[in-house]
């Protein structure tokens, strides 16, 4: 059996355990008034377990296999791909996660978007800078004001 099928088999076991938990054990501790709601806290895990079980089954049965296409990734030729960009983006993601709390959401997210776009080759700075700043501010505003979840917008030194 191929490696992708072994991984699908392992994931199928995990998804079955997750589905069992979602369908049979999560709803037992619900308060009586919540049992009348159309959407329960277990609704998303139930849907996720069904979709993941279907996906693993498709891989196990080999239904996703077709003819080799030109755009597929050949793991034997990884040197031909842009691994430098991928590794830089992974490093940038780690740096973003580490800087999010001390630097603040607005500065770290704007920097992440701008540097990530620069790594991927974007050179239209007159478009990139305002779009990154606007997107960062909109996400911060929605999370902070609409959802009511506090996110430190700026570092402590700047009043965050």
Report the candidate in 117, 119, 136 with the shortest Cα–Cα distance to residue 127. 117
Query: In angstroms, rounded to a whole number, what is the distance separating the alpha carbons of residues 75 and 84?
Result: 16
Predicted pLDDT of residue 73: 61
Domain count, the chain: 2
Query: In angstroms, rounded to a whole number, what is the distance separating the alpha carbons of residues 106 and 85?
Result: 24
Show which of 65, 80, 104 is a domain's final residue.
Answer: 65
Residue 149 covered by a domain = yes
- Give the tens place of pLDDT for each residue, 58-117: 888 887 776 555 556 666 776 777 788 889 999 999 999 998 888 888 999 999 999 999
Query: In angstroms, rounded to a whole number, what is the distance separating the alpha carbons of residues 28 and 19?
Result: 15
Query: In angstroms, rounded to a whole number, what is the distance separating the alpha carbons of residues 120 and 107?
Result: 20
Are 16 and 55 contained in the same domain? yes
Residue 70 covered by a domain = no
Query: What is the SS3 assignment for 121?
Result: coil
Predicted pLDDT of residue 75: 65
Are 98 and 150 contained in the same domain? yes
Residue 59 covered by a domain = yes
Query: In angstroms, rounded to a whole number, what is the distance separating the alpha carbons of residues 5 and 151?
Result: 42
Residue 38 covered by a domain = yes
Residue 82 covered by a domain = no
Are 57 and 93 contained in the same domain? no
Quick one: pLDDT band at residue 28, thresholds 50, 70, 90?
confident
CB 145 within 8 A of CB 152: no
Residue 83 covered by a domain = no
Query: In angstroms, rounded to a whole number, what is the distance separating the alpha carbons of residues 58 and 20?
Result: 20
Residue 155's region, left for phi above 0, alpha for psi from -120 to 50, else beta, is beta
Predicted TM-score (pTM) of the model is 0.55
The separation between CA 157 and the C-alpha centre of its own chain, rounded to angstroms, equals 31
Range of the domain at 102: 89-158
Are 20 and 52 contained in the same domain? yes
Contacts with 16 (C-beta within 8 Å, 6 or more apart), sequence order: 49, 53
Predicted pLDDT of residue 158: 64
**What tokens appear for 118 in the block?**
């620069």
Residue 51 covered by a domain = yes
Quick one: pLDDT band at residue 160, thresholds 50, 70, 90?
low
């Amino acid at each position: 059996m191929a490696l992708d099928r072994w991984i699908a088999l392992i994931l199928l076991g995990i998804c079955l355990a997750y589905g069992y938990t979602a369908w049979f054990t999560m709803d037992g501790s619900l308060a009586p008034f919540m049992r009348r709601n159309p959407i329960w806290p277990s609704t998303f895990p139930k849907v996720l377990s069904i979709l993941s079980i279907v996906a693993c089954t498709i891989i196990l049965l080999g239904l996703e296999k077709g003819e080799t296409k030109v755009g597929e990734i050949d793991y034997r030729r990884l040197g031909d791909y842009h691994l430098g960009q991928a590794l830089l983006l992974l490093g940038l993601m780690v740096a973003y996660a580490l800087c999010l709390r001390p630097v603040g959401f607005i500065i770290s997210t704007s920097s992440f978007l701008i540097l990530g776009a620069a790594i991927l080759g974007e050179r239209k700075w007159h478009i990139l800078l305002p779009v990154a700043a606007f997107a960062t501010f909109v996400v911060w505003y929605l999370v902070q004001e609409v959802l009511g979840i506090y996110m430190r917008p700026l570092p402590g030194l700047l009043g965050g």
